[in-house]
Amino acid sequence: MTPRLAVRQTRARLWRITAPLAVGAGALAIWEAIVRLEGIPPYILPGPMLIAETLWTDGPSLLGSLLVTLRITLAALAAAAVIGGGIALLFSLSRVLALSLFPYAVILQVTPIVAIAPLIIIWVRQPFLALLVCAWIVAFFPVVANTTVGLNSADRNLLTLFRLYSASQTQTLRYLKLPTALPYFLAGLRISGGLALIGAVVAEFVAGTGGTETGLAFRILEAGYRLAIPRLFAALFLLSVTGIVIYLLLDALSRLLLRHWHESAIEEENE
């Protein structure tokens, strides 16, 4: 790598970090100025400074609730990765099975989770498992759809070459189809990360139960009922940060697995 290319890459990385931070800081400054100049009451719209103060004072209780939501989110994401990947693998091995079952996967995806979550909570007596099922229903489809496309996108000439050398179905799957499908699987996983968090929050909203195992969604409802709007915004901020962190971790995993051989990761490193 030449020194000029190294400097260019360093500048590109700095811009990726500083540009969004600058835009965010400017938006927060404008928000704070409008709240102060217009005298907007905090129960209508709190300023960023008040939200930060609330986050500092109420942080321990909110973080405890965030851990409950995060546990459901990560469990749903893991289930989406394992079960969704397995379903996609079955679809790639049997076209009849794909034609028979894929429409039902679409039906689950387009059915509003708010409509069926009460039924799931009634049918599944264990609260954590019920919330997990709701979050999984929201999160699994991108993994299934993307991985199925990836498994079916193997180069036809390479498939012919594998048949020419009498490769077994297992060998073809291991050495050709799975590597081809990996970028698609990781792309679906990045999408499912945010959806799993959304599904967990929606399920907690529908469940609406307090107690020791209280998720962050219930804290948002509670703050809204009490007109503790700064606390509500603080909880929303934690959810947003959690979603960003999940995406960044999955994106880092994708680049780590693909950086040496896939064009998307190579272009990103050399731009």
pLDDT in tens, 164-183: 888 888 888 888 888 889 99
pLDDT score for 263: 63
Q: CA-to-CA distance for 23 and 201, rounded, in angstroms?
A: 27
Question: Same structural domain for residues 6 and 22?
Answer: yes
Note whether 33 and 92 are same-domain residues: no
Do residues 19 and 81 both lie within one domain?
no
Structure tokens at 160: 């012919």
- Asked whether the predicted pLDDT for residue 187 surpasses 60, the reply is yes
Longest alpha-carbon distance in the chain: 77
Question: Which residues, including other chains, have CB under 8 Å from residue 142's CB and lie 6 or more apart?
Answer: 84, 188, 189, 191, 192, 195
Same-domain pairing of 30 and 67? no
Q: Please tell me the predicted confidence (pLDDT) of residue 222.
A: 87
Q: Which domain holds residue 29?
A: 1-40
Q: What are phi and psi of 71, to 5 degrees?
A: -65, -40
Does 108 share its domain with 179? yes
Return the structure tokens found at 33: 């100025």
What is the helix, strand, coil percentage profile of the chain, to 5? 85, 0, 15
CB 171 within 8 A of CB 162: yes
Looking at the structure of the chain, the number of domains it has is 2
pLDDT score at 265: 59
pTM for this structure? Answer: 0.85
User: Residues 144, 224: one domain?
Assistant: yes
Same-domain pairing of 3 and 112: no
